[in-house]
Structure 1
């Protein structure tokens, strides 16, 4: 994405030819970012949402969380495309574990087209429940592969064929997601070599509805940053896709998916009060800032880091018309309105990131 050097209009919007699969946590901040996508951007995006449930949640808590999530998603995402919803964490959660995924899709059916997820380790009962959902809704299924799944390349085709057979679906009704997880400087070389070896071995390679390469490179947190000192982190997830795409031309180039401005794994519980932070996607990196914990100014220190981003000599901050998130960051840079809180900062960062990736894919074919 090129930097804008004036306050003029953003680049002309174009219809994306490459669909983007952002994997989001399914919490309110990410929901708000999705809500504020334009119709053209929604048409270019298929979100992968994790059901926001703690690992320690019991059956009754899961039921409540499903009802809450189901009602919120319909309110916040006017989906042009379908939405992939990963509820595999409810598998084996109790005697009614498979009923929970059915409950979820009953909640979602009136508002949007939701695609359930299975993994190679899903229980037979869970796979059967998802197969029944697919028959009833007609939206297909997503199979999400982890590193453990594709580590054994020789066994992967057989295991995939087994799940596909149990689902009783053709590959053309299935989105196959290769989820690499977290990437850093040490792991990108290994995965850049491994993924191009895996793709040609996949059964029904040309038939999957979508083949997606998903990874995330955002750090687990920003608490180690020095207040008001910018830190840049490389987007290794985008770099991985670029490398794989360059070597997969003769087989099948996967769609791009990332974890936006979040670490792929749930982090440690956040302190009740944490310093305001800013995560801004620019080119092949994230520009990150955090303020300090000021007892007097409190969250108003967010204004200061927004001003710092705005006043960078490289003119990183894009015009407010680029995305809803950019309009909110520029508003805060002018100390206008409220500074928001952690949920808002995540929503604004995610909004800018989603727009930046969609625009990159539309204009260059790369993220």
Structure 2
């Protein structure tokens, strides 16, 4: 049960995160397995083509992607999806209901029911020259659109390639084939609430690639006790036809909102870890997130600290062989009903105990001047690492903007630089295995 110093950041399918993954060093890429949370609004294949992750592997989470209706034909295959499984699904009482990005809008309806979706590219990234993004709501986190906002898939699978039918190509097996063609290994992420058909597809996708999968268990939503956790694990293992030694277990504690809540979450984590040690998982990791979902209320023109309660929780667990995972520099909480408008230049700069949030409004209305002033303030601060611009690709980009007011970038750029620095910092602070 040794993760060999692996880091598993839970990331959104946006340009910002992919730009950071595309600029990892070789040593960093060898230790990072990104978990990409798909949504129902678009395909990640164009992002993978343009911003190829240096990790060479992506763990793909379909938890927010609905099963296609029976008889729908994925574009280019000519073969309809098989009927939905209607057998009894494992379920648990849902305690501690939260607005977790991964669990809050989990449907109680049968597989295939529609789910809220999120607009693509929000708070995305920047990276290669000429790549820019649109500016999301303040705080940079993407929103979830109201239910029914996206177009429905025709159950007849008509030949028209609507955005909805194009998205069917991102079902597990189809996406596994596309990623294999691009030379990217896929690790399916298994969710206890997924349909049997989806789990079977995950098992086939795992065998198509590295015969590995990742079970993402949210104990506050998926299992109240060890018996329910056993039932969930047994169902997933049976449907995927994989053994526990082929599956990485991720215990996702979701939001760690405050110090008091962190203590409660820590006790829950210890109980789940005791259960996890009873099975021969390939590895075990613990994830949580502490970034606020909205940064709008934070002061501007001076850095403000936000405690990295997720990192502190993992350190307090002190469990040998248990790997580290988090939500990068974003929040586990979805923001619903937020309208997009132009964002202030914002960096989320990771240090050992805190994030330093830089939101800059000074120097008039020009974004270039504000970003230049922000970056210049950061590189002269106590938080700037001794390695300076060599610390990460993101730090090099920040240092370049500190030297000149040209090229302030966009919200996509700022998330990219922040994520790049965050990944490099995490890898320096967790054991290499």
Alignment of 1:162-201 (within 5 A): 162-185=235-258, 186-201=260-275
Matched with 1:5 is: none
Given that residues 286 and 325 in structure 2 are in contact (C-alpha distance below 8 angstroms), is that contact kept between their aligned partners in structure 1? yes
Question: Which of 162, 167, 177 is the equivalent residue of 1:106?
Answer: 177
Given that residues 303 and 332 in structure 1 are in contact (C-alpha distance below 8 angstroms), is that contact kept between their aligned partners in structure 2? yes
Matched with 2:360 is: 291
Matched with 2:65 is: 90
Counterpart check, 1:240 vs 2:313: yes
What is the CA deviation profile of residues 126-182 of structure 1, one whole-angstrom value per residue up to 9, with x for unaligned ones? 111112222333432221112211333332112212211221111111111111111
- Separation (CA, whole Å) in 2 of partners of 1:210 and 1:297: 49
Counterpart check, 1:77 vs 2:24: no
Higher mean C-alpha deviation, range 145-154 or range 349-358: 145-154
Counterpart check, 1:328 vs 2:401: no
Question: Which of 202, 209, 216 is the equivalent residue of 1:137?
Answer: 209
Question: Which of 417, 420, 423 is the equivalent residue of 1:348?
Answer: 417
Matched with 1:223 is: 296
Higher mean C-alpha deviation, range 77-86 or range 258-267: 77-86
Going from structure 1 to structure 2, the CA distance change for 1:93 and 1:293 (only over 3 Å counts) comes to: farther
Given that residues 74 and 108 in structure 1 are in contact (C-alpha distance below 8 angstroms), is that contact kept between their aligned partners in structure 2? no
- Separation (CA, whole Å) in 1 of partners of 2:294 and 2:363: 20
Going from structure 1 to structure 2, the CA distance change for 1:158 and 1:280 (only over 3 Å counts) comes to: same
**Post-superposition offset of 1:270:** 5.3
1:201 is paired with a residue of what secondary structure?
Answer: helix
- Separation (CA, whole Å) in 1 of partners of 2:275 and 2:9: 25
- TM-score scaled to structure 1, two decimals? 0.83
Going from structure 1 to structure 2, the CA distance change for 1:315 and 1:208 (only over 3 Å counts) comes to: closer
Going from structure 1 to structure 2, the CA distance change for 1:229 and 1:138 (only over 3 Å counts) comes to: closer
**Post-superposition offset of 1:317:** 4.6
What is the CA deviation profile of residues 103-128 of structure 1, one whole-angstrom value per residue up to 9, with x for unaligned ones? 21121112211111221111111111
Going from structure 1 to structure 2, the CA distance change for 1:50 and 1:294 (only over 3 Å counts) comes to: farther
Gaps of at least 5 residues in structure 1 are 1-15, 58-64
Given that residues 274 and 293 in structure 1 are in contact (C-alpha distance below 8 angstroms), is that contact kept between their aligned partners in structure 2? no
**Structure ranking higher in helix proportion:** 1
Alignment of 1:272-287 (within 5 A): 272-287=341-356
1:154 is paired with a residue of what secondary structure?
Answer: helix
- Separation (CA, whole Å) in 2 of partners of 1:281 and 1:320: 15
**Post-superposition offset of 1:72:** 2.2
1:329 is paired with a residue of what secondary structure?
Answer: helix
Matched with 2:371 is: 302
- Separation (CA, whole Å) in 2 of partners of 1:331 and 1:139: 42
Given that residues 91 and 126 in structure 1 are in contact (C-alpha distance below 8 angstroms), is that contact kept between their aligned partners in structure 2? no
> Pairwise CA RMSD of aligned residues?
2.3
Aligned length: 330
Counterpart check, 1:202 vs 2:310: no
**Post-superposition offset of 1:221:** 2.4
2:211 is paired with a residue of what secondary structure?
Answer: coil
- Separation (CA, whole Å) in 2 of partners of 1:237 and 1:299: 33
Going from structure 1 to structure 2, the CA distance change for 1:204 and 1:94 (only over 3 Å counts) comes to: farther
Alignment of 1:40-51 (within 5 A): 40-51=27-38
- Separation (CA, whole Å) in 2 of partners of 1:315 and 1:211: 32
- Separation (CA, whole Å) in 2 of partners of 1:287 and 1:321: 19
Matched with 2:329 is: 261
Higher mean C-alpha deviation, range 38-47 or range 133-142: 133-142
What is the CA deviation profile of residues 287-335 of structure 1, one whole-angstrom value per residue up to 9, with x for unaligned ones? 11101287631343111121222232x3535500111111111111222
